[in-house]
Amino acid sequence: MKTHTAPAGQRHACVIGAGIVGAATAQALAERGWRVTLVDAQPQAGRGESLGNGAQLSYSYVEPLATPDALKNLPKWLLSPTSPLRWRPQPRLGHARWLSEFIAACQWPTVRRTSEQLLALAAESRHTLHRWLAAQPGRAEATRHTRPGKLVIYRKPEALAGVQRQIDWQRAWGCEQAIVGADEVKRLEPALAATGGGPIAFGVWTASEEVIDAARLAVLLAESSGATLRLGQRVTALQRDAAGRVVACLLAPADAAAGQAAERLEADAFVLAAGPATLQLLRPLGGRPPIEPIKGYSVSLPIVDDGAAPRVSITDNGRKLVHARLGDRLRVAGFAELIGMNRELPPRRIEALCQAVRETFPGACRFDDVQPWTGLRPATPSGRPQVGPTRWPGLWLNAGHGALGLTLACGSASLLADLMAGETPPLNPEPFRVTA
Ligand SMILES: Cc1cc2nc3c(=O)[nH]c(=O)nc-3n(C[C@H](O)[C@H](O)[C@H](O)COP(=O)(O)OP(=O)(O)OC[C@H]3O[C@@H](n4cnc5c(N)ncnc54)[C@H](O)[C@@H]3O)c2cc1C
């Protein structure tokens, strides 16, 4: 077994997982003077749950999934065959605990408190991302970063009062959003003039919302961090010394047969940023982070009629779908299925996404070159990621970003790197404390 150690003098951090969260963590640590090794089982950064995501930097849309409305609608959603939600009960204590914590979080005071905490983290994330993109010309283009603004469209007029309340409340937290009528919706996004699926009642316009290609951003951050990249390498175990400190991890080529000799990688600190796989890596230590995979789908479709495809980032509230233009393709993402670590791509889900595009933006896309994708959102019951030290000295966590991993990655990376450097972060780390 080979053993790698860091050169004397510089602290060495090993980040496990080069998804958007791990790649951002590598960048934030390198900035603070750490020597970083970034490990991933995939051959490239950003290939996990970040690869085909909705591409939304949703800085003003951080309300958690657990709300009283979600709880009220749950029976209806679960019984409908076309519902955007699906749940398959699993005979695991961790699953039952996650569900009971999710239900407990479905109260307005909790939703408000969590939203405030996530808005603060999102603001830090935007600030950090902008700084990193501005560090070198060409980075915005390379990552397809744009600020098209976001329009959330509603087809049910009765939703207006609740939406207005939410916007008024968010204004106090610096979110500049406006309710706009159906005519203004079509002026802001002319491609919606021909939309099917019922008349639009109103929309919410947030001019400051952004879009970025998560996979490209992960590659950029992994490379620009200067980290030693150990791609195609799977971490098979974390090792502790006699005092219980995590001092090494075992690596094996991702395609290695079970039992093949592993390499031992030592570091001063380890960061677990393994998305939904975080649970598997912590289980041998006795850790049970409350992270469940919530499955979603996307399709990326070639745009054939520029004027018929949206330029603005569109969220269809009724269908719970997001649409973003990435280069010459339209990315549409949605669905939330609590069915375990399942990566099947059922044709009916892909067809449902394609059908939604046909109806919402008729004539905009071709359907003979669909890029289908599925990913597992690593979700905590509260919607807050877990960022900070674990109860095992030497081991830190940055995981559980759920539906907002791209939006929150740079902020949580910066928060974690501050904590690891012993510096006071610009936001309160307590809400993101690790409970594993
Ligand atoms: C359909 C869908 C749409 C979404 N849309 C958005 C959106 O619009 N905006 C937004 O903010 N968020 C969105 N999300 C959420 C976002 O994609 C996730 O929160 C985010 O990708 C999580 O990033 P991560 O780095 O934690 O996990 P990952 O990207 O999965 O990274 C974890 C990495 O760890 C690696 N790994 C795991 N185990 C090991 C091991 N043992 N050894 C080595 N490597 C290992 C994996 O290979 C992987 O690359 C969406 C998610 C889905 C599914």
Cβ distance 273 to 19 under 8 Å? yes
Ligand 1 atom closest to the Cα of residue 408 is 11
Q: Which two tokens stand for residue 415?
A: 């928060």
Ligand 1 atom closest to the Cα of residue 324 is 8
Q: What is the pLDDT of residues 35-89, one digit of tens each?
A: 999 999 999 999 999 999 999 999 999 999 999 988 888 887 777 777 888 888 8
Q: Give the number of other Cβ atoms within 10 Å of residue 10's Cβ.
A: 10
Q: How far is the CA of 42 from the centre of ligand 1 (A)?
A: 12
Q: How far is the CA of 326 from the centre of ligand 1 (A)?
A: 19
Sequence-distant (≥ 6) Cβ neighbours of residue 361 within 8 angstroms: 191, 192, 194, 195, 308, 309, 310, 323, 330
d(CA 198, CA 424): 51
Q: Which of 370, 306, 324, 267 has its CA nearest to residue 6?
A: 267
Q: Minimum mean pLDDT among 186-200, 249-263, 265-279, 393-407: which range?
A: 249-263
Ligand 1 pocket, Cβ-based, cut-off 6 angstroms: 16-22, 39-42, 47-50, 53-56, 58, 234-235, 273-275, 277, 281, 296-298, 322, 333, 375, 377-378, 399, 401-407
Q: How far is the CA of 377 from the centre of ligand 1 (A)?
A: 7
Taking phi first (over 0 means left), then psi (-120 to 50 degrees means alpha), and beta for anything else, what does residue 197 get?
A: left
Q: In angstroms, what CA-CA distances link 70 with 74, 75, 87, 125, 389?
A: 6, 9, 13, 27, 32
**What are the contacts of 286-289 at 24+ separation with CB within 8 A?**
287/390, 287/391, 287/392, 287/436, 288/94, 288/436, 289/380, 289/386, 289/397, 289/399, 289/400, 289/434, 289/435, 289/436
Pick the residue whose CA is nearest to atom 48 on ligand 1.
Answer: 48
Pick the residue whose CA is nearest to atom 29 on ligand 1.
Answer: 19
- Asked if the 67-92+145-210+291-379 domain carries CATH number 3.30.9.10, the reply is yes
d(CA 16, CA 50): 15
Pick the residue whose CA is nearest to atom 12 on ligand 1.
Answer: 404
Pick the residue whose CA is nearest to atom 16 on ligand 1.
Answer: 405
pLDDT bucket at 8, cuts 50 / 70 / 90 = low
Q: How far is the CA of 212 from the centre of ligand 1 (A)?
A: 15
Q: How far is the CA of 188 from the centre of ligand 1 (A)?
A: 32
Q: What is the pLDDT of residues 405-419, one digit of tens each?
A: 999 999 999 999 999
- 4 pLDDT above the threshold of 50: no
